[in-house]
Amino acid sequence: MSNFDFDLFVIGAGSGGVRASRVAASHGARVAVAEEYRVGGTCVIRGCVPKKLLVYGAHFAEDLKDARHFGWDVPDCKFDWDRLRDNVLAEVTRLEGLYGQTLENHKVTLFKTRATLIGPQKVRLADGQEISAERILIATGGWPFVPEFPGSEHAITSNEVFHLDKLPKRVVIAGGGYIANEFAGIFNEFGSKVTIVNRGDTILRGYDEQIRDRLLQISMTKGIEFRFNAPFESIEKKEDGSLTVHLGNCDPIDADIVLVAAGRVPNTKGLGLEDAGVELDKDGAIQVDETNQSSVPSIYAVGDVTNRIQLTPVAIREGQAFADSVFGGKPTVVDYANVPSAVFSHPPIGAVGMTEAEARNKLGTVRVYTSDFRAMKNVLAGRNERALYKMIVNEATDQVVGLHMIGPDAPEILQAAAVAVKAGLTKADFDATVALHPSMAEELVLLK
């Protein structure tokens, strides 16, 4: 028998921690998990799941208008924020229960409290209880970053946005990344006046330039305003509860809420990592090797807390690889090449592989194919919004090294296409595939 209380103790019951826990338990390990908030982590509780449900709700604003062009006598409709908010939160609670049930079914012990490290193989719970484990996995995820400036305490983050008492009439969003653009689209469709404020001069850094420029163009057409090169100076709260945002290089903006979406940082503060000898990088992320092992042999980490690729499916892959490698006798290393991603903006973006700029810098000579078109549905609805598909091909090998799309259902289409890019298929392979007509996806095999 082991001298430890558990074979594995996991701190954090998010996507990566839950996957690692149940897989390790299925391999016969004695596993415990500590979660100080709610089982499910950022994605399920206050991230991609509730946000995607809000995106679905926002899409009805345009769908109801478009329906009239398709013969439906749709009256003017009123949006009820309270009803959507409560339905979304109820779904989150349902999913939280399922995650807890998964742990219970795999005989994983769940401690609903905070845990901190007090040594390489020991943790302390908030009630003072000390527990030993042969191995410890840190899966505490990330946390919204809020820069410090006068009045920053009046801003909210993506953690609080799902719980708003009422729909704000005026929203200022700080940041230019995927979270900022997604919530800009959501609130704009709900009827709020939205302004994105960015201290830099571009949105969606890391995405293909043509795709992000198209989103900017469409967003402005929809009524979303942008302020670039405008750093926050202060937020002033007035007697009526409204806010005035003071910016550099820009006039002040009045708002009902200010949502800070300036990125996320690894959630490592106060965990006792330094005292246990775990090395962190300059951003506070746990430094791990390809096996997810930290500088302390008994301590591992997966997910956003390692700040590699901050995506839920990546955290799940890392949790699976850790459990299979350490407890299942199946050494597994996660391949981070060609990881697909999406921005659930209005319209959404899907991307996999290299951007045009990255491909030219790395490969030298590339071929670029684009299709700039109006979806059939938009044509009949009288909507001028255009989709853009872009394929990047290595000139030397004919291999497709990047796909970038903006338009209706782009992420749904991109997932299948990402398989082809991951498999290293060529432009000729795409050309040899018969088109599925009429569909938007067929543009991918008709690019000339």
State yes or no: 181 annotated in a binding site: yes
State yes or no: 126 annotated in a binding site: no
Residue 8 has phi, psi (to 5 degrees) of -140, 130
Q: Which amino acid is at 246?
A: H
- Check: CB of residue 50 under 8 Å from CB of residue 173: no
State yes or no: 180 annotated in a binding site: yes
Residue with tokens 């246990």: 276
Catalytic residue among 69, 106, 246, 437: 437
* Whole-number Cα distances in Å, 346 to 58, 165, 170, 343, 390: 9, 24, 18, 9, 18
DSSP 435: P
* Whole-number Cα distances in Å, 327 to 8, 51, 106, 134, 389: 9, 34, 15, 12, 43
CA-based angle 443:445:447, to the nearest 5?
Answer: 65
Element (H, E) at 174: strand 170-174
Phi-psi region of 117 (alpha: psi -120 to 50; beta: other; left: phi over 0): beta
What's the rounded Cα separation, in Å, for the pair 184 and 182? 5
State yes or no: 175 annotated in a binding site: yes
By DSSP bridging, strand 341-343 and strand 232-237 are unpaired
State yes or no: 177 annotated in a binding site: yes
Closest alpha carbon to 103 in 19, 163, 200: 19
Element (H, E) at 218: helix 209-221
State yes or no: 263 annotated in a binding site: yes
Provide the 10 A C-beta neighbour count for residue 327: 20
State yes or no: 304 annotated in a binding site: yes
Would you call 59 a catalytic residue per the annotation?
A: no
State yes or no: 203 annotated in a binding site: no
What's the rounded Cα separation, in Å, for the pair 15 and 313? 8
State yes or no: 179 annotated in a binding site: yes
Residue with tokens 């509860």: 241
Closest alpha carbon to 403 in 342, 317, 346: 342
Give me the DSSP letters along 117-147.
Answer: EEETTEEEETTS-EEEEEEEEE---EEE---
State yes or no: 240 annotated in a binding site: no
Cβ-based burial of 374 (10 A; exposed 0-12, middle 13-18, buried ≥19): middle
Cis peptide before 438 (omega within 30 of 0): yes
Sign of the dihedral through C-alpha 34, 37, 38, 41? negative
What's the rounded Cα separation, in Å, for the pair 223 and 129? 55
State yes or no: 381 annotated in a binding site: no
Catalytic residues: 437
- Binding-site residue set: 52, 175-182, 263, 304
- Binding-site residue set for FAD: 52, 304
- Binding-site residue set for NAD(+): 175-182, 263
